[in-house]
Amino acid sequence: MKSYSEIDTTVKRASKAIGFSWGVSEEIGKSIRLLEMLGIAGVKNLNSYFKVYKNQKFQNISLISNNNTSSTPYCPISLGINFLNQLSHMENLGNLSISNVAYPILLIPFISRASYISGKKILLKIDEKNFLLNFNQSVASNYSDNNIVEKSNNVNISFLENTNLFSENEWQELYKLSEDTFVEESKELKEVAAGAGLNDND
């Protein structure tokens, strides 16, 4: 099995060799490493993308809006980097859609990192595939076959408000149970605590 460090380094060098700058190549290396760590087929999708990258035209994106369309497939790497660069604007939008994205699985690590930076969970929908991104720590998804996804008709990104998965009543019940471990300070304990550290060695 290849180490994550080896994946990062090899992907970075391959990205530079195919025409990306060293700075962008480093971002790609970190992104593919993250995908593999999350159990998503990053190397497989990137390798397939690089096979067509030089011979097929892909659309870069500069300013991302609520609705983004292009007759030429968007480059997922350009899209991901610009999403991170415009994150505060993306948060204000709350929900956005992007049609015609090439190899959209490569977009996932950028959105995952955005979840960590923003402190919000993000729901990413790639056609019928759903990805719930949790602060760059985990991904809940119905994408389990890990096949290559060459194109998506529609990508939807939604920032989710942080909420607890339990009710206030459930929390109070658990907290009340935890109170049984609290130790009430006795008079003797308070006196010992008050004199802590005052040792007479004479």
Q: 76-98 pLDDT, tens per residue?
A: 999 999 999 999 999 999 899 99
Q: Give the amino acid at 119.
A: G
Give the per-residue SS3 of 119-155. CCCEEEEECCEEEEEECCCEEEECCCCCCCCCEEEEE
The predicted pLDDT at position 145 comes to 83
The predicted pLDDT at position 62 comes to 85
The predicted pLDDT at position 95 comes to 94
| Burial 175-187, CB ≥16 within 10 A → b, else e | eeeeeeeeeeeee
User: Which of the residues in the chain have pLDDT under 50?
Assistant: none
Classify the C-alpha dihedral 74-77-81-87 as positive or negative: positive
Q: Give the amino acid at 17.
A: A
Instruction: Assign residue 122 a region (left: φ > 0; alpha: ψ between -120 and 50; beta: otherwise).
Output: beta
The predicted pLDDT at position 144 comes to 83
